[in-house]
Amino acid sequence: MKEESKIEFESFVKHMPKVELHLHIEGTLEPEMLLRFAQRNEINLPYKDIESARSAYQFKDLQSFLNVYYLGASVLREELDFYELTKAYLQRCKQQGIMHTEIFFDPQTHLSHGIALDVVMGGIRSALAEAECEWGISSALILCFERDRDAESTVSLLHDAMKIGGIAGIGLDSAELGNPPRKFQEVFQRAKNLGLHRVAHAGEEGPPEYIWEALNLLKVERIDHGVRCLEDSGLVERLLEERIPLTVCPFSNVELKVFPDLESHNLGKMIDAGLHVTINSDDPAYFGGYLNENIISTVNCLERDINDIILLQKNAIEASFCTTEKKKQMFSALENYVDGFLS
């Protein structure tokens, strides 16, 4: 790509109205904030400065990442911490042109540290409300259950969260291998009965069978990651027939060794197969980039073009848990931007 075209392309992405559907709020904990919270809450970490903290953000697989991720989450203790963490991410949304974001949070991690659920949710929800009022950034909050924990407590946790209010749905994350979706069938059925949206991480490190289970047993509406779906032609047919969204996170997949590099990522093949794919940043503080960086680098490395970027954002709007009216507004904002940029 010529330098002039590259600059124009990057400008197009940076200012385009966007939607993000796969973002763990604990995964936005930048090293500077990690150390600041640790000092404020008197938490001892093995990192003594920014460089040592940043050097720890290197991973060989999903589990090695989770070890660092959960250690980082241990510095989040007060409602102010959750508020500041969330507001900092939303400030980046403002800078990156993200008009709507759907945010995961992991309450079980914080409950295990003795942090009350209303403290966690109170801080996050305050920041979300402020961002919508101040910057017009809409959001949805998704409570994730950690699949490597016991499933027995999830129903009571869901009940507690519903009493507090403010969640749009539930999800399933953490260590995938050896933790099939079927473990969580009961709580997902409860959530469905309550009218909540349902998503699940599946087919990242785990096999295509986990995607089948998430669809058939958990009745999910979106698959988070799902990159291994191409290994099963019958599964691809199912995803196409039901137009199931896949929230793909390229930087994450490379950092966790699902693919050796961005050039090897199968996102392009997923687009060409007609799958309902989107690009997201997952845990951007740990994986080296937020939404714009994921889009720009991935599209460049896979030699895709502006039409693919537009398609991915249309997919994201359609796959969001927004009202029909809100989706119309977001489609209109995107179309007006594209027309103005390309005219």
- Report the candidate in 204, 169, 170, 212 with the shortest Cα–Cα distance to residue 63: 204
Exposed, middle or buried by CB within 10 Å (0-12, 13-18, 19+), for 94?
middle
What is the SS3 assignment for 128?
helix
Task: Enter the tokens of residue 18.
Answer: 């966007």
DSSP 282: B
Judge contact between 224 and 198, C-beta under 8 A: no
Q: How many CB atoms lie within 10 A of CB 189?
A: 15
What is the SS3 assignment for 299?
helix
- Report the candidate in 148, 194, 195, 189 with the shortest Cα–Cα distance to residue 172: 148
Does 204 participate in catalysis according to the annotation? yes
> Can you tell me the distance from the alpha carbon of 252 to that of 201, in angstroms, rounded to the nearest whole number?
13
> Can you tell me the distance from the alpha carbon of 11 to that of 145, in angstroms, rounded to the nearest whole number?
37
> Can you tell me the distance from the alpha carbon of 25 to that of 283, in angstroms, rounded to the nearest whole number?
8
β-strands 222-225, 245-248 pairing? parallel
End-to-end Cα distance, the chain: 21
- Which stretches does DSSP call E strand in 29-180? 98-105, 138-146, 169-173
Catalytic residue among 204, 205, 213, 255: 204
> Can you tell me the distance from the alpha carbon of 210 to that of 202, in angstroms, rounded to the nearest whole number?
6
Q: Which residues are catalytic?
A: 204
